[in-house]
Structure 1
């Protein structure tokens, strides 16, 4: 599997146990019965995600040393929060304030943060990392990806099923400390766990360039 062709790469044992414990400490105090928690203003986590640290260096291997984290979400799937997710692309970013700009649409507020769908060219120059804090065997709802779908740009909702049918589907298994790197626009999905166990995944979006027209990423 190659990043350019397939849109994904697995970095096995990318994080040592001390690094994982540092991340867990930075996430301490978050609610543990919610499907996803959007993170902001967590300085300790921001330090863990810098381009010169193990997680950020993976993003930098694609985007360059100037890359920076622009959004982080903790997914905590358990027996109580055993959700399924249909095929989709991640199509929004989080910004500091709303500014009307050509190509930016679908403004929404989620957990007090301003989300917007930017032009596909913005998303095409981003990557998404999934940092696995728990093992993800095939019975515990691993992410599914449609390899190469990121090269199709923004895909209309009506065309997603067809795009998936033309793609090779890969199951993204992981161990604690593994990191999956994805093109942000890749089509992905997840079923409910067959044998639910705790499955914490820290998902972080990285960009290499600031936004134009006075818009700013909110950051982590």
Structure 2
């Protein structure tokens, strides 16, 4: 793995793709572990367009050792150093017939344990019984997300589209995107690879057009201590 290249891409572009973090056999074991879980939990959401598991690492605790392999932990330590821990995890399964898409946005909120008003933290929201707030900008700038791909993903089945370098523009509203200056890039990833991104990177996802499934494990990391009175909703070392 070319650590220097990936570090440069994360700093300058706001994302990088690292292939072959998991072997084909490891991907199959992860998929089997997910398919065997009891889907009656309130953390599970299923529609015709999407199956999702919120607080994935908590809802399916037996999956953690399959996700946090030595190869993944070494990769993240080399890229970001010590002190980071997982603060949010979601599993997405987008069927081949899905019309589900995501519009251009930044990930501006973090999941916390309670709804409370605290100076420096934006208005709280509640979605699916989970509380979220917009933290101070420096926390978002230091956080990172990994997206573990369990299927080959490209433009046809909803690979993330990103605007390279947009994470450097701080809060960047979709209505202010200057399409004369921006260049959209599709983050294609093979099964077993990961996409790493900064939460302030502007990103979106198209509907599926090639009838291929897309399964992704999304995990957010931070090393921040939050203000007195709130804590991370999901904190896994």
TM-score, normalising length: structure 1? 0.87
1:38 to 40, 54, 57: 54
Structure 2 spans left out of the alignment, 5+ residues = none
* Structure (1/2) with the larger strand percentage: 1
1:173 aligns with 2:191: no
CA distance in 2, matches of 1:26, 1:218: 24
Q: CA deviation at 1:157?
A: 4.5
Matches for 1:58-69 after TM superposition, within 5 Å: 58-69=75-86
Q: Which runs of 4+ in 1 moved over 6 A?
A: none
Out of 63-72 and 76-85, give the one that drifted further.
76-85
Q: What's 2:13 paired with?
A: 6
Aligned positions, number: 217
Matches for 1:133-212 after TM superposition, within 5 Å: 133-159=150-176, 161-162=177-178, 165-212=180-227
Secondary structure of 1:118 counterpart: coil
CA contact (8 A) 2:106 2:202 kept: yes
Secondary structure of 2:232 counterpart: coil
CA contact (8 A) 1:108 1:115 kept: yes
CA contact (8 A) 2:98 2:208 kept: no
CA contact (8 A) 1:48 1:55 kept: no
CA distance in 2, matches of 1:21, 1:201: 13
CA contact (8 A) 1:58 1:181 kept: no
CA contact (8 A) 2:122 2:135 kept: yes
CA contact (8 A) 1:56 1:68 kept: no
